[in-house]
Structure 1
Amino acid sequence: MSVKKTFATAALCLLFASAAGAAPALADVERSIVAVSAWGGTPADPALARKQTVSYITLHHQGEPFPEGKDPVQYLRNLQAWSRSTKHWLDIPYHYIIDLDGKIYAGRDIQYAGDTNTEYDPMGHALIEVVGNFEEVQPNQKQLDAVVDLMAMLAAKYHVPLDRIASHRDYSAQTVCPGKNLYRYVQEGYFRHRVAQRLAAQ
C-alpha cells in the first residue's frame, strides 16, 4: 500500500471512528442479532445443507433499492421464500443481513455454507449482506458500524484473520457486489482497520 493510500485510509478510519461513539461489547453484538424465529422465518432442513467451518468473512450488498420505510422483516420473509421456491437453495443465501438502521438479522444458519449466483464457492465464508444498492447510494453510518461490529464478533468467535475479511467481488469476476460505494471501505482497508481496533479493545 502506498504512503498516500495509507494516510487516506487512516484519515477515513479516524473520521468514522469519531462519529461512531462507544462500540458495544462483542458479546452484546451477538446477543442483539434478531433470530430467524423472531422475524418469522423457518429453519432450513439440515439434511440438505453443506456443513462448513468458518474461515472467511465476506461482504455482499442486496443489489436492489431499499427505500426508507421498507419493512426489513417482510423483506427477509420474501427473500427466504424466493430463495427456496425460485432458486431451490437451502435458505436465504446470506448468514446475516443488516438493515438501514444497522440492525443485524440472522439468515442462513452459520454452520451451513451459503449460496451465490456467481462462480465462487462460498464454503467456509460467513456471508454478510447490507441492504441497498451501493452502486447507486452510499451506506449510512449505522450500516457501516454494524458491519464492523458483526465482522469483529465473527473474527473473534471463529478466529478469522484480518486478511480474510473481503467482499464478493474479491472472489468473483462476474459481479460488482458489494457496489462501488461500499466496496471502497473494503478496498481502502477501513473494515480491517476498524475490526483490528475492536479486537484489540476486547
Structure 2
Amino acid sequence: MRLFPALACTALLFSLATGAGAQPSLADVERGIVSVSAWGGTPANPAQAQPQTISYITLHHQGEPFPQGKDPVQYLRNLQTWSRTTKHWLDIPYHYIIDLDGKIYAGRDINYAGDTNTEYDPMGHALIEVVGNFEEVEPNQKQLDAVVDLMAMLAAKYKVPVDHIASHRDYSAQTVCPGKNLYRYVQEGYFRKKVAERLEGK
C-alpha cells in the first residue's frame, strides 16, 4: 500500500508511541487517527452543517468489496467527491473509516451530524465505517481491534455508555449494514464487552 509522506509520518509516530505489538492507550488511538488534511481531503463548510452532541456510537460497513492492495487514500478522496457532488451531502457520511490494516481515518467532522440513505436519524451518532462488504467476507482481526479501540476512545471522550454502542441495522429496517459477518460481533455483545474492558484499563 502506497503511503503519502504525511501518512507515513503518522504511522511511524504511532508505532513509536505505542511500541510494536502493544495495546495503544486511548490517547494514542486518538493521536493515531489520520487527519482529513493528511489523506488529501478538504474540510466541510460549517455554515451547511448540523451541529451535534455525541450520545451514540454506530457501526457501518462500506457495503462494497475492498480488495487487498486497494488504496484507502484514493477511496476516501473518491468518497468525499461522490458524497458532495452526487449525494449533495455536507461531506463523507461517516466520521471515521477503518481500512484493511486497521488504520483509522478521519472523515466528516464529528461535531457535525452524519448522513444516511435510510430512515434513521443519525443526529448524535458517531458513525464508524469499516471498509469491505461483510455480507460476503469476514472482518479481519486488525479491523476488529481498531473498532474496539476507536469505540473505546469515543466512549471515554464523549461519555457514551456501552449500551449505546450499536449498528446501522439496529436503527433501520431498510438495511443489512454492517453485514451479517460484522453484525454478529454487535449482536453477540463482543464490541460492548471489549470496549468495557478497555475502559476499565484491561
Q: TM-score, normalised by structure 1?
A: 0.89
**Superposition pairs of residues 17-36 of structure 1, within 5 angstroms:** 22-36=22-36
* Runs of 4 or more above 2 Å deviation: none
In 1: Cα distance, 2:135 partner to 2:150 partner: 22
Question: Secondary structure, in 3 states, of the residue corresponding to 2:38?
Answer: helix
Residue equivalent to 1:63? 63
Question: Secondary structure, in 3 states, of the residue corresponding to 1:128?
Answer: strand
Question: Secondary structure, in 3 states, of the residue corresponding to 1:144?
Answer: helix
Q: Report 1 or 2 for greater relative contact order, CA contacts < 8 Å, sequence distance ≥ 6.
A: 1
For structure 2, list consecutive stretches of 5 or more residues without a partner in the other structure: 1-20
**Superposition pairs of residues 25-174 of structure 1, within 5 angstroms:** 25-174=25-174
Residue equivalent to 2:4? none
In 1: Cα distance, 2:50 partner to 2:98 partner: 24
Question: Secondary structure, in 3 states, of the residue corresponding to 1:102?
Answer: coil
Question: How much identity, in percent, do the aligned residues show?
Answer: 87
Q: Structure 1 or 2: larger helix share?
A: 1
When the two chains are superposed, the root-mean-square deviation of aligned CA atoms in Å is: 0.8
Question: Secondary structure, in 3 states, of the residue corresponding to 2:60?
Answer: strand
Question: Secondary structure, in 3 states, of the residue corresponding to 1:143?
Answer: helix
Task: Letter of the 2:83 partner, please give it.
Answer: S
Alpha-carbon offset, residue 117 of structure 1 = 0.1
Question: Deviation per CA, 1:79-121, whole angstroms, max 9, x where unpaired?
Answer: 0000000000000000000000000000000000000000000
Task: Letter of the 1:54 partner, please give it.
Answer: I
Q: TM-score, normalised by structure 2?
A: 0.89
Question: Deviation per CA, 1:119-151, whole angstroms, max 9, x where unpaired?
Answer: 000000000000000000000000000000000
**Superposition pairs of residues 181-200 of structure 1, within 5 angstroms:** 181-200=181-200
Q: How many pairs does the alignment contain?
A: 182
For structure 1, list consecutive stretches of 5 or more residues without a partner in the other structure: 1-20
